[in-house]
Every structure is written in structure tokens, then in C-alpha cells.
């Protein structure tokens, strides 16, 4: 996904500018071509030398505005070069200029001279962010489909104010960059309600012992991010996770399969698309105690009973306007059991994962799959990041 991609980054003046250094470095190491514009104010926080070292290319400043590239104006050449323009941190000053089509420096001139998607990552003091004028400019800018957003997050700011206005974390910015690069900026899920489950459920014998599985929830988190980046309103129902949940995702925490079933059913009717990526237990201990069992009292044989089949129940309740997608983590032949699951549970599509392959499946950062829909069409996706696999699945079910 990164090969030959070209990302132009505009850095505004704010203490959060230091976070963008990690974004630049990570993109370069991933094989993305990176060019960076520094505003005059940004140079009070990070230097052109730092940026040129991380990007392996000179940093562009207003001082270079009139030095042509390939005998063409800098802002024209950079604007046409970029596949994606990222502005981080986006200050209140630059936001106001963009909202009114003003161009008085290299960064804003380049925005007007380009046609690629623009990803905005605001960062400013909470009181500044909440000003009516700033919010009016923000909403006006978002009415243009060219602009995409990540953040701002909430928390303690550099000024010690607690509230909205923190620059999104580098991992969030990177995920949004990869999403927009993958989709080209399309929002094919705008106005859609997407319900996703993830993580491995736990069926407790007592407060400290349970039947579980190795799922970390990374695949479902990637699906939630991908759907959110494509315009959907996302509800994520998750069992215990090892990864942080992006701040813009509505997340509901559960532990057991019974709890997940209750929440999934309560949100199901409002959903246009439902993806069951959770690794839900098949059985649970027949007996459960609220106090820890002494080791000597542990049963030598554990009586088990089945848990409700959430996916099958959703398949029975599914309406004609809804799409229901399942996952099948398999070893050996992954297609045959996935096809059976697809048909028996009335799914629209299924993603079969070969969990016996290296660096694939539970706890990994990469994944691969064979997608199968109810018409019998199959698509094989080779090992890639889980975010890329998530986008590939959304493309598959939307085609």
C-alpha cells in the first residue's frame, strides 16, 4: 500500500509539532515518500534540519517560496506531487485561512494549488478550540468533502488545561494517513451505522480462572478505524483488549459471550453493516463461583455447557437491508469450514484466516484471509497490515 505513495505534510506553529517528527520518520521507514512544509511559526518549535534529516529531503519554508522546483513554482510542484496533504498541527490561524480560502504563506498557497485529499489534525488550547468562531470555521471546512480529520483528542494540554485540543497521537494520525491513501479519500460508508465485535470473550470458572483464547482484538480495532475513516458511525463491542481504542469510536466493554450477545442484540436493529470479528467462546464452565476456589477444590474434570451462538442468532434476525459478515479462524483447509459457516449462519460474507501461518492471526500486526460472499465469489488477500485487510474487506463487501 505504501509503495510510491507521496505524502506532503504541513506543520503549523504549536508545541505539538514535535509529535509530527515520529509520523514523518515512520512514513519514511514504511517506504512512503515524504515532503514537509514548515510555517514560520513552526520553526520556533522544530527546525528545518530536524525535518530534512527525518524525511531525507529538504524542508520547505517560506524562504524557499520563490525558489522553483524543476523550473516551476514550489507551491504548484508540491501541490501536484502529493497523493495526500496532511496538516498537523492545524492551528486556529491556519484553520481560519483555509476556511476562507486565504493564502499568505507557502502552506496555504500549496493547499489551494492542490487537488488531493487533505487530512487535518487540529491542536490548540481548549478555550481556543471551543470558540464559536473557530468551531464555525471548522464546520465550514468540513462541509468540503476534500477534507478529512483526525482528532483533536482530549486530555491534559501543554498549558495544563484539561479538555479537547490535544493533537492526535502519532499512531492515530498514521492510521488515518494509511486509510486515506488506501481509499483515495472516498467516504462510501457516510451515513451508515456499523456494528463491530472484537476481542476474545472469557468464560469464568471463578473470579481469576476462565476459558479463553489468544485474541487481542487488533483486527476488530482495525475494522472500526477503517469504517470510521470511510465515514461510518461505528459502535465497537469488545471483550478485553490489549490495544487502546481510538477516541472517536463508541466502544462498549463486555467480558463473556452472554454479555456480548446482549449488547450486540440491542444495537443490531439500527446497524446497516455488522462485522463479527470477536473470538467468541463455544463453551463455558457449567458451574461458576463468585469466590476464588482453593487449589485443592478445583474440579479434576470440568463440566462444560454451550454458550449462545451470537452470529447464528444475528443471521436469523437479519433484515434485507442489513449485511452480516463473519470471521473464521482456521488451520489447514480454511475454505471448506468457512463456506459451511457462511451458509449455516446466513451470512453475506466471511473472512477465513489461516491462523497456522507465521505472523498471521491472533496477536499479530499483520493478517491474511480469503474472503467469500454468499454468491460464491472469493478473493485472496496476501499478508498485510490489519488496517489494510480491513479496507480490503470493506471493498469486497461493497463491490
pLDDT digits (tens, 9 = 90+) for 160-212: 888 888 999 999 999 999 999 999 999 999 999 999 999 999 999 999 989 99
- Going by C-beta distance under 8 Å and a sequence separation of 6 or more, which residues neighbour residue 75? 65, 106, 109, 110, 113
Judge whether 65 is annotated as a binding position. no
The answer on 245 and 152 residing in a single domain is no
Do residues 177 and 205 share a domain?
no
pLDDT value at 336 more than 90: yes
H-helix or E-strand spanning residue 227: helix 218-229
pLDDT at residue 67, as a whole number = 74
- 159 classed as catalytic: yes
Residue 144 counted as an annotated binding residue:
no
Euclidean distance between CA atoms 8 and 51, whole angstroms = 12
Written as nine digits, the cell of 30 is: 514504511
Q: Is 228 annotated as a binding residue?
A: no
**Is 100 in a helix, a strand, or coil?**
coil
- For the chain, how many helices (H) and strands (E)? 13, 19
Indicate which residue of 21, 116, 159, 384 is catalytic. Answer: 159
Residue 1 lies in a domain: no
Whether 361 has a pLDDT exceeding 90, the answer reads: no
* Cα–Cα distance measured from residue 204 to residue 212, given in angstroms and rounded to the nearest whole number: 9
309 annotated among ligand-binding-site residues: yes
Rounded CA-CA distance 397/375 in Å is 11
Instruction: Count how many domains the chain has.
Output: 2
Taking only the tens place, the pLDDT of each residue in 63-102 is: 877 776 777 888 899 999 999 999 999 999 999 999 999 9
Pair (28, 145) in one structural domain:
yes
Decide: pTM greater than 0.75: yes
**Residue-level pLDDT at 16:** 94
CATH number at residue 27: 3.40.50.1950
Residue 299's pLDDT is what? Answer: 87
Does 396 count as an annotated binding residue? no
Q: Note whether 21 and 103 are same-domain residues.
A: yes
Mean pLDDT is lowest, of 66-70, 308-312, 341-345, for 66-70
Residue of 224, 160, 176, 215 lying closest to 196 (CA atoms): 224
Answer yes or no: do 169 and 265 share one domain: no
Cis peptide before 89 (omega within 30 of 0): yes
Do 252 and 222 lie in a common domain? yes
Residue 341, annotated as binding a ligand: yes
5, 156 Cβ separation under 8 angstroms: no
Contact between 279 and 199 under an 8 Å Cβ cutoff? The reply is yes
* Pair 167, 273 in one domain: no
The answer to whether the beta carbons of residues 220 and 182 sit under 8 Å apart is: no
Element (H, E) at 99: helix 92-99
User: Mind listing the pLDDT tens digit for each residue in 130-150?
Assistant: 999 999 999 999 999 999 999
Q: 380: domain range?
A: 193-398
CB within 8 A of 223, min separation 6: which ones?
Answer: 196, 198, 275, 277, 390, 393, 394
310 known ligand binder: yes
Q: How many CA atoms lie within 13 A of 233 on its CB side?
A: 7
pLDDT band at 321 (very low <50, low <70, confident <90, very high): very high
Q: What is the pLDDT of residue 1?
A: 52
Q: Which of 148, 183, 218 is the last residue of a domain?
A: 183
Q: Are residues 221 and 366 in the same domain?
A: yes
Residue-level pLDDT at 3:
58
Distance of CA 342 to the CA centre of its chain: 26
Retrieve residue 350's grid coordinates.
Answer: 466471511
304, 326: one domain:
yes
- DSSP structure class, residue 65: T
Asked if residues 274 and 324 have their Cβ atoms less than 8 Å apart, the reply is: yes
Amino acid at each position: 500500500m505504501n509503495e510510491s505513495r507521496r505524502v506532503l505534510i504541513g506543520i503549523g506553529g504549536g508545541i505539538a509539532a514535535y509529535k509530527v517528527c515520529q509520523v514523518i520518520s515512520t512514513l519514511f521507514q514504511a517506504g512512503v515518500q515524504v515532503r514537509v512544509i514548515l510555517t514560520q511559526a513552526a520553526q520556533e518549535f522544530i527546525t528545518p534540519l530536524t525535518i530534512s534529516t527525518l524525511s531525507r529531503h529538504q524542508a520547505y519554508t517560506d524562504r524557499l517560496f520563490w525558489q522553483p522546483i524543476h523550473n516551476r513554482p514550489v507551491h504548484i510542484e508540491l501541490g501536484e506531487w502529493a497523493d495526500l496533504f496532511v496538516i498537523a498541527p492545524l492551528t486556529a490561524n491556519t484553520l481560519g485561512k483555509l476556511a476562507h480560502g486565504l493564502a499568505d504563506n507557502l502552506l496555504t498557497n500549496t493547499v489551494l494549488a492542490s487537488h488531493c485529499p487533505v487530512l487535518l489534525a487540529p491542536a490548540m488550547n481548549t478555550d481556543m478550540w471551543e470558540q464559536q468562531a473557530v468551531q464555525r470555521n471548522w464546520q465550514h471546512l468540513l462541509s468540503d468533502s476534500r477534507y478529512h480529520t483526525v482528532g483533536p483528542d482530549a486530555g491534559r494540554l501543554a498549558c495544563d488545561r484539561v479538555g479537547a485540543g490535544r493533537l492526535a497521537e502519532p499512531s492515530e494520525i498514521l492510521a488515518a494517513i494509511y486509510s486515506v491513501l488506501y481509499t483515495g479519500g472516498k467516504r462510501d460508508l457516510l451515513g451508515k451505522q456499523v456494528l463491530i465485535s472484537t476481542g476474545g470473550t472469557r468464560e469464568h470458572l471463578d473470579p481469576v480462572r476462565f476459558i479463553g483464547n489468544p485474541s487481542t482484538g487488533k483486527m476488530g480495532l482495525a475494522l472500526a478505524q477503517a469504517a470510521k475513516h470511510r465515514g461510518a458511525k461505528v459502535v465497537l463491542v469488545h471483550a478485553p483488549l490489549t490495544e487502546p481504542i481510538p477516541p472517536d469510536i463508541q466502544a462498549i466493554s463486555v467480558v463473556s459471550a452472554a454479555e456480548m450477545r446482549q449488547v450486540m442484540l440491542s444495537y443490531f436493529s439500527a446497524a446497516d453493516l455488522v462485522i463479527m470479528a470477536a473470538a467468541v467462546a463455544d463453551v463455558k464452565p457449567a458451574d461458576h463461583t463468585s469466590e476464588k476456589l482453593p487449589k485443592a477444590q478445583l474440579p479434576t474434570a470440568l463440566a462444560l455447557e454451550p454458550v449462545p451462538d451470537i452470529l447464528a442468532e444475528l443471521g436469523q434476525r437479519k433484515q434485507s437491508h442489513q449485511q452480516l459478515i463473519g470471521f473464521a479462524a482456521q488451520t489447514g483447509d480454511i475454505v471448506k469450514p468457512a463456506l459451511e459457516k457462511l451458509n449455516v449462519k446466513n451470512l453475506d460474507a466471511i473472512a477465513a484466516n489461516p491462523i497456522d501461518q507465521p505472523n498471521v492471526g491472533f496477536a499479530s500486526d499483520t493478517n491474511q484471509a480469503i474472503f467469500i460472499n454468499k454468491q460464491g465469489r472469493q478473493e485472496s488477500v496476501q499478508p498485510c497490515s490489519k488496517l489494510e485487510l480491513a479496507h480490503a474487506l470493506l471493498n469486497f463487501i461493497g463491490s
